[in-house]
Amino acid sequence: MEKIRAAGLLRTRGLIGGQWVDAYDGKTIEVQNPATGEVLANVACMGNRETADAITSANTTFYTWSKLTASERSKALRKWIFLLTVYIPQRHDLLMSHKEELALLMTLEQGKPMKEALGEVNYGASFIEFFAEEAKRVYGDIIPPTLADRRLLVLKQPIGVVGAITPWNFPLAMITRKVGPALACGCTVVVKPSEFTPLTALAAADLALQAGIPAGALNVVMGNAPEIGDELMQSTQVRKITFTGSTAVGKKLMAGSANTVKKVSLELGGNAPCIVFDDADIDVAVKGSLAAKFRNSGQTCVCANRILVQEGIYEKFASAFVKAVQSLQVGNGLEESTSQVANPSFGSVDMIPVGPAYKCTHEKNPGWTTASGHLGPVRISSTIQLPEKRARSDPNGSALRIQLLENERPAVQFCGAAPAQLRKNEKQELLEITFYSFFHMQGPLINEAAVEKVEKFVGDATSKGANIMLGGKRHSLGMSFYEPTVVGNVSNDMLLFREEVFGPVAPLIPFKTEEEAIHLANDTNAGLAAYMFTKSIARSWRVSGALEYGLVGVNEGLISTEVAPFGGVKQSGLGREGSKYGMDDYLEIKYVCMGNLG
């Protein structure tokens, strides 16, 4: 528990009707750090009874929350954003923002590097921000009447209680992407987070309460997934279920919700193709494919699961891609490294070969600044400033500002996460800087079962003729770490082609023609995300239209944003999340005919 003492938002009980409650039978489940196996906390293991209580609470609150004006709901949501991303609680000697606390919890229980965790807090908050404004844009219609004494109106009203079942790979963003529009519309929610990552969900819910979201509007139950899911499906008070997860579970939820005819929105598994045409910019394609494949250790539903490379550039791309993958650091998301540099006067120092992006604090004067990630040696130049707007300071108001400069590039803003330490040695000759590196790092897989699945897929591929170009085995760090892997000459009879690997394995598949690439890309029941790299505008339009996917990235590997619709076709789901279209699934359309108006 020492590592999470900093997390003032640590909660281990469920949230029902604004109260933190234990399971009726007192049962708990362990939450483990996948990087170390350490037990972080024991949280309440809830089931049918607790879920029924949460549904009742949500249903009761719905009648008051839905009657608030859109502006009132928007105001509460905006305060939630502030608490998630900006507010700095003054607790003891702790100077971490809620954003950093959430990121720390996320890294500890899910394994992703701190930089990715911080990015997810921003990403998750962006949905609340967007839907806080969309709350004021739920417009109806006036239909021209068929008779002179009538007026025909179309109203949009909140659907009611929503059951939201979310995964472990994005334990905050997948909640806010559902809860944001639901609350904005006037719905109330019962959230069932993954049993692997409940701490982030509970922390976010705590901040929602602090922001003024009414008790009962947002409830969190975790533990026995089958019991919780069954209660949500069978309850007549729950009018909608929204789920992100596997296609198999999505099908069960669809079938189970049929008895009560619930509205269901599903964001299910993917099998994303990434097509690299021979006219692509190789550097752009490598960087984009790397981002699309290895973010979150390959554990996202939009990861590039199959990299299709045109034969004319296959060898060149493969060589560059393998080299890029080799640069990925594997380790604990909070892993630290130490360098020593001369000049304790805080002036300019020599170039030192440290990792990508860092965050530092002075031992006595904790100051926090932020910087975007970069690679290569850095030069540190720093001064103590009183005060410094973008730094957080100790009670005396002093702060240390550290600016990182790349060797031959402009300065970068310091933006970061877990603190490092900066101190002089005993002889006052060296400035010792302890860094936390968190860019281009790959964390562990979520658990042993995930590693075994990756091993199965890689073994199947090699048994059928594929060749390991890089990695291909468990990492020497042990636990659930797996080496970043590139597998060459993958064919469509292999598991790596047919199914979603959900791990750090990049299959390379050669193709000859554009038509063949489209056929290979569409040869799956999934249809969530696809990527392509080409310099041809005509080909971009042509292939984008032919790909049977809900999202298509052209010359870009990171395409998700709160302002654009997210969702798949075929067996990758129903409905859309994010964007103005993300409100639709939480609203009912009502037609009103007013007659005899004279």
Whether 576 maps to a domain, the answer reads no
Are 61 and 187 found together in one domain? yes
For residue 554, the SS3 value is: strand
Name which of 146-150, 220-224, 424-428 the model is least confident about.
424-428
| Number of compact structural domains in the chain | 3
Boundary of a domain, candidates 410, 436, 462: 436
Are 257 and 276 found together in one domain? no
Whether 455 maps to a domain, the answer reads yes
Are 521 and 451 found together in one domain? yes
Whether 574 maps to a domain, the answer reads no
Name which of 74-88, 260-274, 328-342, 381-395 the model is least confident about.
381-395
pLDDT of residue 88: 67
Question: Is the pLDDT at 366 greater than 80, yes or no?
Answer: no
Per-residue model confidence as pLDDT tens digits over 286-300: 999 999 999 999 999
Partners of 442 in beta bridges: 330
Boundary of a domain, candidates 389, 414, 436: 436
Are 53 and 142 found together in one domain? yes
Are 28 and 84 found together in one domain? yes
In degrees rounded to 5, what are phi and psi of residue 17?
60, 35
Are 164 and 43 found together in one domain? yes
Question: Is the pLDDT at 264 greater than 80, yes or no?
Answer: yes
The CATH number of residue 72's host domain is 3.40.605.10
pLDDT of residue 404: 32
Name which of 259-273, 344-358, 425-439 the model is least confident about.
344-358
Q: Are 238 and 190 in contact (CB under 8 A)?
A: yes
Mean pLDDT across 321-349:
61
Per-residue model confidence as pLDDT tens digits over 145-162: 999 999 999 999 999 999
Boundary of a domain, candidates 418, 436, 454: 436
Whether 597 maps to a domain, the answer reads no
Instruction: Write out the DSSP string of 416-432.
Output: --S--EEEE-TTS-EEE
Are 458 and 504 found together in one domain? yes
User: Amino acid identity of 574?
Assistant: L
Sheet holding 14-16, edge to edge: 19-21, 14-16, 218-220, 188-192, 161-165, 238-244, 263-267, 573-574
Are 218 and 120 found together in one domain? yes
Q: Are 399 and 391 in contact (CB under 8 A)?
A: yes
Are 280 and 260 found together in one domain? no
Whether 129 maps to a domain, the answer reads yes
Q: Are 53 and 24 in contact (CB under 8 A)?
A: no
Sheet holding 141-143, edge to edge: 141-143, 151-158, 587-594
Per-residue model confidence as pLDDT tens digits over 193-221: 999 999 999 999 999 999 999 999 999 99
CA atoms of 240 and 159, how far apart (whole Å) = 7
b/e for 322-336, b at 16 or more Cβ within 10 A? bebbeebbbbbbbbe
What is the overall mean pLDDT for the chain?
A: 84
Are 303 and 345 found together in one domain? no
Instruction: Write out the DSSP string of 276-329.
Output: E-TTS-HHHHHHHHHHHHHGGGG-STTSEEEEEEEGGGHHHHHHHHHHHHHT-E
Q: What angle do CA 413, 417, 420 make, to 5 degrees?
A: 95
Which residues have C-beta within 8 Å of that of residue 136, sequence separation ≥ 6?
A: 70, 71, 74
Please report the sign of the dihedral spanned by the C-alpha atoms of residue 159, residue 160, residue 165, residue 171: positive
pLDDT of residue 598: 79
CA atoms of 457 and 470, how far apart (whole Å) = 15
Whether 427 maps to a domain, the answer reads yes
The CATH number of residue 542's host domain is 3.40.309.10
CA atoms within 13 A on the CB side of 162: 31
φ/ψ bin of 471: left (φ > 0), alpha (ψ from -120 to 50), beta (otherwise): left
CA atoms of 123 and 440, how far apart (whole Å) = 18
CA atoms of 595 and 230, how far apart (whole Å) = 44
Whether 380 maps to a domain, the answer reads yes
Domain coverage including residue 400: 336-436
Question: Is the pLDDT at 94 greater than 80, yes or no?
Answer: no
- Residue 544: closest CA among 575, 573, 521, 567: 521
Q: Are 129 and 81 in contact (CB under 8 A)?
A: yes
- Residue 65: closest CA among 508, 199, 57, 358: 57
At residue 324 the predicted structure's pLDDT band, cuts being 50, 70 and 90, is: very high
Q: Are 34 and 446 in contact (CB under 8 A)?
A: yes
Are 408 and 300 found together in one domain? no
Mean pLDDT across 20-33:
98
CA atoms of 582 and 127, how far apart (whole Å) = 10
On the 0-12 / 13-18 / 19+ scale of CB atoms within 10 A, 502 is buried
Whether 303 maps to a domain, the answer reads yes
Are 64 and 122 found together in one domain? yes
At residue 3 the predicted structure's pLDDT band, cuts being 50, 70 and 90, is: low
**Which residues are the active-site residues?**
267
Would you state the structure tokens that stand for residue 504, as one six-digit string? 């750090």
At residue 403 the predicted structure's pLDDT band, cuts being 50, 70 and 90, is: very low
